[in-house]
């Protein structure tokens, strides 16, 4: 019995030694990490081997042990956690702000957005890399405008080689000329002067009375004048019974000529009259200004009271009759 027990214990010890000697396969990759050093090339690891994981480029340890050990063919749990590196915010910039797309972690971008009136000069965008922000940001410089446009028979002040954002210039015209348009222009954020420069027009270049438009005439006291000073703006209005169909009603006298008239006038429409009892409405010829609406009674009815309607500037005018039954014999009503 003693010999049997010894042999049994020896067999168990041999099995234990055999189990302990089992190799481990290549351990699975952790999230955002891999084996460190030459271990990354191996596919089998002897029992008792300890390997180390390292976070991938752009990631850093968020805690936990990076080492695992092969024991009897199995790896111990991996504690290492890896998180994206954070480059954090860039220092404040002058006359602008940084926009992060979408954030400040590895692979994200930092872009300079200049304030209104400033523009980026030099450099480009930053990229969050494994060692921090890489690249070079531009700087924000104030927007400049070159010399303003020259106006015939006029001049501007102040006169400088370069103008900065929001600088203002004033135009004046020589004697016997008047400014038409904006006297002041400013250096805008896109590097141009705005609005459009004015014109200097001779005060002797008056305009005659403008011709009537179709179904319209001058508005107010302007209808009584025959001559209009240069730069004058007049307004047209649709005649009675007509209404605007779009377009500007104003024109301006410039250097003896009127600007084009955009206003269009169309006849007002009174539309259909409500249905009537025992008859129908006949429109002669339609439902627009000046047209007529006449009541036609059904057979066996006749109009009583009222008359016809006329389409006026405020709608239908007048009062329609009503259709009342007639007492005439049927042979009279049905006579050809």
**Please, what are the domains in the chain?**
25-84 (2.10.70.10), 96-142 (no CATH), 146-202 (2.10.70.10), 207-267 (2.10.70.10), 279-333 (2.10.70)
Q: Compute the distance between CA of residue 269 and CA of residue 291 in angstroms, rounded to an integer.
A: 9
- Dihedral sign for Cα atoms in the order 249, 250, 256, 260: negative
Q: Quote the CA–CA distance of 163 and 151 in Å, as a whole number.
A: 18
**How many whole angstroms separate alpha carbon 77 and alpha carbon 65?**
9
pLDDT in tens, 258-278: 999 999 999 999 999 988 999
Q: Please give the pLDDT value at position 29.
A: 84
Question: Is 136:149 a contact under the CB 8 Å cutoff?
Answer: no
CA separation (Å) from 89 to 129, 177, 188, 196?
13, 59, 31, 42
Distance of CA 46 to the CA centre of its chain: 65
Distance CA 200, CA 172 (A): 8
Query: pLDDT (tens digit, 9 = 90+) per residue, 182-222?
Result: 999 999 999 999 999 998 877 777 888 998 889 999 998 88
Distance CA(69)–CA(296), nearest Å, equals 108
Contacts of 107 (CB under 8 A, 6+ apart): 58, 84, 127, 128
295-312 tens-digit pLDDT? 999 999 999 988 899 999
Please, are residues 87 and 36 in contact by the beta-carbon 8 Å criterion? no
pTM of the entire predicted model:
0.48
331: exposed, middle or buried (C-beta count within 10 Å: 0-12, 13-18, 19+)?
A: exposed
Give every residue of the chain whose pLDDT is below 70, as ranges.
1-21, 328-336
| Share above pLDDT 90 across residues of the chain, in percent, rounded to a whole number | 73
CA contacts within 13 A on the Cβ side of 221? 1
What DSSP string describes 262-288?
---EEE-B--PPPP-TTEEEEEES-SB
Per DSSP, the residues of 174-190 read: -TTEEEES-SEEEE-TT
């Amino acid at each position: 019995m003693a010999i049997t027990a010894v042999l049994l214990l020896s067999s168990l010890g041999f099995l234990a030694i055999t189990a302990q000697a089992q190799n481990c396969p290549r351990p699975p990759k952790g999230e955002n990490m891999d084996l460190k050093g030459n271990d990354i090339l191996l596919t089998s690891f002897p029992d008792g081997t300890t390997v180390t994981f390292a976070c991938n480029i752009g990631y850093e340890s968020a805690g936990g042990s990076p080492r695992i050990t092969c024991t009897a063919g199995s790896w111990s749990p991996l504690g290492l956690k890896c998180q994206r590196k954070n480059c954090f915010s860039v220092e404040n910039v002058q006359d602008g702000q940084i926009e992060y797309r979408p954030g400040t972690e590895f692979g994200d971008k930092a872009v300079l957005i200049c304030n209104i009136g400033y523009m980026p000069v030099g450099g480009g965008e930053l990229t969050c890399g494994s060692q921090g922000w890489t690249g070079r940001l531009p700087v924000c410089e104030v927007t400049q405008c070159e010399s303003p446009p020259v106006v015939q028979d006029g001049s501007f002040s102040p006169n400088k080689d370069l103008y900065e954002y929001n600088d203002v210039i004033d135009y004046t015209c020589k004697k016997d000329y008047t400014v038409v348009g904006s006297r002041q222009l400013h250096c805008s954020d896109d590097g141009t002067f705005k609005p459009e420069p004015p014109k200097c027009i001779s005060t002797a270049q008056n305009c005659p009375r403008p011709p009537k438009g179709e179904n319209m005439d001058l508005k107010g006291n302007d209808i009584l004048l025959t001559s209009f000073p240069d730069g004058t703006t007049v307004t047209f209005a649709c005649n009675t019974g007509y209404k605007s169909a779009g377009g500007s009603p104003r024109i301006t006298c410039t250097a003896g000529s009127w600007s084009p008239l955009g206003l269009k006038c169309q006849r007002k429409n009174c539309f259909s009259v409500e249905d009537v009892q025992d008859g129908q409405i006949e429109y002669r010829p339609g439902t627009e200004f000046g047209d007529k609406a006449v009541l036609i009674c059904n057979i066996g009815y006749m109009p009583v009271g009222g008359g016809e309607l006329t389409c006026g500037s405020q709608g239908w005018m007048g009062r329609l009759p009503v259709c009342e039954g007639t007492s005439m014999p049927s042979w009279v009503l049905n006579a050809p």
